[in-house]
């Protein structure tokens, strides 16, 4: 489709927060409690399979794919890292 220049951090954040909303509710959390430093895996918001589904949802929402090859998996586990990964590593 287009380059990541057409996509903003807020757009990626919106897609992620919409996707994890049921998980946040299950944990008794609100979207405004999820910061860029929140580790989605460590906090139990998503598991490893859910994380892959989350990446797919963001890819679908943005109409692009993420090249996971050059990305640091630990950084990608945080909301901010995931956003940065999509803004920097998508094609």
Residue 33 sits in a domain whose CATH number is: 1.10.1200.10
Confidence (pTM): 0.86
Domain count, the chain: 1
Residues (pLDDT < 70) of the chain are 1-6, 90-91
Distance between CA atoms of residues 9 and 33, nearest Å? 17
Residues 6+ positions from 77 with CB-CB distance below 8 Å: 39, 40, 41, 42, 51
Per-residue pLDDT at 3: 41
Q: How far is CA 85 from CA 33, 64, 88, in A?
A: 21, 12, 5
Q: What is the pLDDT of residue 33?
A: 96
* Domain that includes residue 22, residue range: 4-89
């Amino acid at each position: 489709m287009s380059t990541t220049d057409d996509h903003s951090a807020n757009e990626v954040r919106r897609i992620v927060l919409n996707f994890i909303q049921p998980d946040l509710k299950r944990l008794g959390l609100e979207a405004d409690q999820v910061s860029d430093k929140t580790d989605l895996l460590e906090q139990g918001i998503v598991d490893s399979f859910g994380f892959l589904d989350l990446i797919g949802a963001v890819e679908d929402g943005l109409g692009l794919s993420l090249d996971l090859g050059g990305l640091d998996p630990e950084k990608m586990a945080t909301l901010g890292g995931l956003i940065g990964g999509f803004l920097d590593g998508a094609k």
